Amino acid sequence: MEHNDKDKIYVIGHKNPDTDSICSAIAYAYLKNQSGTGEYIAKRAGHVSTETQYVLERFNMEAPGYVPNVKTRVKDMEIRRTQGVSSDISLKKAWTLLNETKGTTLPIIKEGNVLEGLISIGDIARSYMAVEDNAILSKARTQYSNILETLDGTLYVGDPEAFFDRGKVIVAASSPEVMESYIEEHDMVILGNRYETQLCAIEMKAGCLIICGDAVVTKTIQILAKEKGCTIIATPYDTYAVAHLINQSMPVRFFMKDREIIAFSEDDFTDDIKEIMASKRHRDFPILDKNGHYVGTISRRNLLGIKKRRLILVDHNEPSQAVDNIESAEIMEIIDHHRLGSLETMMPVYFRNQPVGCTCTIIYQMYQEQQVEIPEKIAGLMCAAIISDTLLFRSPTCTPMDKAAAQALAKKAGVDCQKLASAMFAAGSNLKSKTAEEIFYQDFKKFEQDETTFGVAQISSMTEGELAGAKEKLLAYMKTALENQRITMLFFMLTDILNESTELLCFGEGSEKLVKEAFGKTVENGSVILPGIVSRKKQLIPALFSALQQ
């Protein structure tokens, strides 16, 4: 079943996503797609860590697409898919197309669907006022095929692909003697069925004869016209109608706007184009794709009906951790295992929050409840997420439910939890080749308490030496990170999985005092050892919040 863009719902984890955040998005998007209620697409709000990349490659899965923010874009609007036309078409045809499509602006395109210009109803109306210039038809280089189409004409002599590009347009309503005084070489002459006036115009080297009233064009006139290089067109219209219609045969290229065109990209944010649209009097604005090709038009009224991005959040429920511009999106569901944050929604949403060690544990339960078979690859991802979040069941956040889910998923995926954990943690803690910035943002989250905002990052390793090497890089980077994040305090957890302890790096005004109040330990040279502390969610954050409240 196919869905349009408005049916698409993004399933997305937090910024600086860990393995649970990525795997939860993939697993839950698959589960939701079995319901047939829309198209659910797994996305990510940050770069994939080396641990997560290992897991994705281990189970032959691609990383979700990156979404830096969820502001509405032009492609979320109702784009009017008006077909572009060639600049060769006549004004009459352009007018007809605009009436048929009930549009106000017609895009002019050239080969490759490249936007060449625009012509509006106003432009066409103004062209009709240019009747005082009887040479305008030739100045516009009007093709005879356009004249034939406009006048419902029949070509007796000449080439329909040739152009009327010299001379003026005149009506021959006089005797041949008078006509000789004003017909010049290359002119287009509108006349009736009188043989002598037709002959006179040809002898005066007219470029084209428009013979009105469906008059018969004699063989003699045709032969003479051919000899003199004079085009002959017969039309059923009378002289007055032809004089009125002839300018409508001019090509739109002569009147179209082809400079300083205001066009938008499908990827432009609607917030960025609102003021531009409001400040211009244009009714319609052309839209281009990422390759610069024309795709359609929008008008100001399209802004009124724009639909927000629809999201399902997994593994978080705080705005400080969510994808940028979360307030611009419509949140449909939240699946999480963390403390309740301050995220607000416009409407009631499905919110499932359980005190377990991993979001994938909750999603595993939902597969069971809905009796949906878990594919082998997705079972592997979910198992790896639980192992990662619970530090192979060592974390105090781990529950019997997590362990049971991981073991069932491991069986389904055909993996051994212990071996998978060793490989995952080894890939994730390979820090020697990484910069301080890469290490810092591998798993970083922001938290807010009253007017205090602080950040906590964490890496876990089975090797003490590797953590020590990372520490030197991070201590030098903490000041830069604090300034970039514009927060009060920063903490970095260097977690030793085997010894079940954490060295906490602290930076920022009040950070050392807060740690002293939370854990009763003194920070020296920017760090402190916290035995038994391995969980950011269940051990570190609650202690820091408690100290802040006091």
CA distances from 77 to 42, 218, 257, 266, 318 (A): 22, 59, 25, 9, 28
**Conformational region of residue 315, where left means phi above 0, alpha means psi within -120 to 50, and beta covers everything else:** left
pTM of the model: 0.66
Tell me which H or E stretch contains 444.
strand 444-449
Beta carbons of 267 and 74 less than 8 angstroms apart:
yes
Residue 377: strand, helix, or coil: helix
Contacts of 80 (CB under 8 A, 6+ apart): 103, 284, 296, 297, 298, 299, 302
- Looking at the domain that runs over 436-549, which CATH code has it been given? 3.10.310.20
Contacts of 84 (CB under 8 A, 6+ apart): 107, 108, 109, 113, 115, 294
- Phi/psi for 248 (5° steps) reads -70, -10
Burial of 243 (0-12, 13-18, 19+ CB in 10 A): middle
Residue 5: strand, helix, or coil: helix
Q: Which fold has domain 76-127+254-304?
A: CBS-domain (3.10.580)
Give me the architecture of the 5-72+308-428 domain, per CATH.
Alpha-Beta Complex (3.90)
Beta carbons of 380 and 59 less than 8 angstroms apart:
yes
Nearest-angstrom CA–CA distance, 207 and 147: 14
Contacts of 330 (CB under 8 A, 6+ apart): 307, 308, 309, 310, 311, 346, 347
Largest CA distance in the chain: 117
Q: Which DSSP state fits 538?
A: I
Write out the DSSP string of 216-275.
Answer: ---HHHHHHHHHHT-EEEE-SS-HHHHHHHGGGGSBGGGTSB-SS---EETTSBHHHHHH
Domain boundaries along the sequence of the chain = 5-72+308-428, 76-127+254-304, 141-249, 436-549
Beta carbons of 531 and 495 less than 8 angstroms apart:
no
Q: What is the pLDDT along the chain (550 residues), one digit of tens a residue?
A: 344 455 689 999 999 899 999 999 999 999 999 988 889 999 999 999 889 999 999 999 999 999 999 988 888 888 888 888 999 999 999 999 988 888 888 999 988 889 999 998 888 888 777 567 889 999 999 999 999 999 999 999 999 999 999 999 999 877 777 888 888 999 999 998 888 889 999 999 999 999 999 888 999 999 999 999 999 999 999 999 999 899 999 999 999 988 888 999 998 888 888 888 888 777 788 999 988 899 988 888 887 778 888 999 999 999 889 999 998 899 999 999 998 887 888 888 999 999 999 999 999 999 999 999 999 999 999 999 999 999 999 988 999 999 999 999 999 999 999 999 989 988 877 777 788 898 898 889 999 887 888 999 998 887 777 888 888 889 889 999 998 888 889 999 999 888 889 999 999 999 999 999 999 999 999 999 999 999 998 899 999 999 998 7
CATH 3.40.50.460 fits 141-249, yes or no: no
Token digits for 44? Answer: 């990510």
Nearest-angstrom CA–CA distance, 23 and 413: 14
- Phi/psi for 128 (5° steps) reads -70, -20
- Phi/psi for 114 (5° steps) reads -90, 130
